[in-house]
Amino acid sequence: MKVAICGVGATGTRLARQLVSSPAVEQVELRDERHDHLAAVVASLGPRARIADVPLDAPTDADVVVLAADAGLHLGAARRFLGAGVAVVSVGDDLGEAQGLLELDAEARERGVPVVVGAGFGPGLTCVLATHAAARFDEVHEIHVAKVGTGGPACARQHHRALARSATDWRGSWVRRPGGSGRELCWFPDPIGGQDCYRAELADPALLVPAFPGVQRVTARVGATRRDRLTARLPMLWPTHPEGGPGAVRVEVRGRRGGASDVVVLGAMDRPAVAAGAVAALAVLWIGDGRIGAGAGGLAGRVDPVDFLTALRSRGVRAAAFQGSAVAEPA
């Protein structure tokens, strides 16, 4: 299998490293406008990686293209690659682009080509965790996603933009809420712990609602500080860390099982770029194996969550469950 990666930032580099170490991948073609950086990455990856000195959306002979570039490039590129019959995996988390990519579903089904939308840490792993948690219920009523941390600088810029824009939640119909509102203290896997999370323009609800017909509420929040909220509508004032820091995702699913209301909380802690690279690499390999069918959509409902989480575990990305008890333990 040949794979092309458009955008070699923190996530794209991790993804490329995962792919060159997979026996099923013969060649990984890397595209990026930063030529020096691209050359350094390719040199570190070994003989299976090669530079493609072409525009990001130029035609390719690859079987799968991964879009890991900045937000704004994914939809146009996906249309071109889909038109050429090439499978597409988008690692982006921009809501507008995710909605546009989902609208390619009819064309993707007609052409028999898979288009995976949001194959990262969140959305991506969050969609798989939601599917895994939902399997424990007879009826799923609510799904609440929260994430904290960013991958590389592109991810940090997207996080900054999202906090300033309106969130689109599902309450039986789409409801827009101001970004930065709805503070909620969310508990993430250790060592992240409790973080204040706020509404933001996130793509998770748009990807989860089609996968869970009948769900009543789907929301997404992102961890932020008061400074983040205050400066969200300004240009980014501080340079971002090139590799991001530790992050986490958390998915809370509410519903009924055995005639009773119940809640299941799953999560994961990792460096977002590392986890996103692993999720995207698995999506690519599963497309190659024919385990992800034609059509455009997120990972929710399209992959077997147990197999996917088990494969992720072997790549070092470990999911966790929150186990609560009704009675506080004695001090």
Binding site for other proteins (CB under 8 A): 189-190, 259-263, 266-267, 306, 309-310, 313, 318-329
Nearer to other proteins, 108 or 266 (CB): 266
Q: Looking at beta carbons only, is 237 or 326 nearer to other proteins? A: 326
Closer of 57 and 270 to other proteins (Cβ) = 270
Q: Is the CB of residue 252 less than 8 Å from the CB of residue 98?
A: no
- Give the type of residue at 259: G
CB of 186 to other proteins, least distance (A): 13
Sequence length of the chain is: 331
Give the residue with the Cβ less far from other proteins, 141 or 161.
Answer: 141
Residue type, 65: V
3-state SS string for 6-38 = ECCCHHHHHHHHHHHCCCCCCEEEEECCCHHHH
Q: Is the dihedral of CA 140, 262, 200, 125 positive or negative?
A: negative
β-pair type (64-67, 87-90) = parallel
Cβ at position 116, least distance to other proteins in Å:
22
Single-letter code of the amino acid located at 301? G
Query: In the complex, what is the shortest distance from the CB of residue 179 to other proteins, in angstroms, rounded to a whole number?
Result: 28
Question: Which residues make beta-bridge pairs with 296?
Answer: 115
Minimum distance, C-beta of residue 256 to other proteins, in the bound complex (Å): 9
In terms of DSSP bridges, do strands 27-31 and 2-6 run parallel, antiparallel, or are they unpaired? parallel
Q: How far is the CB of 214 from other proteins (least distance, A)?
A: 20
The least CB distance from residue 183 to other proteins, in Å, is 19
**Is 208 in a helix, a strand, or coil?**
helix
In sequence order, what are the beta bridge partners of 148? 248
CB of 127 to other proteins, least distance (A): 16
Contacts of 288 (CB under 8 A, 6+ apart): 1, 24, 25, 63, 64
Among residues 56 and 269, whose Cβ is nearest to other proteins? Answer: 269
Between 230 and 321, CB nearer to other proteins? 321
Cβ-based nearer residue to other proteins, 97 or 252: 252
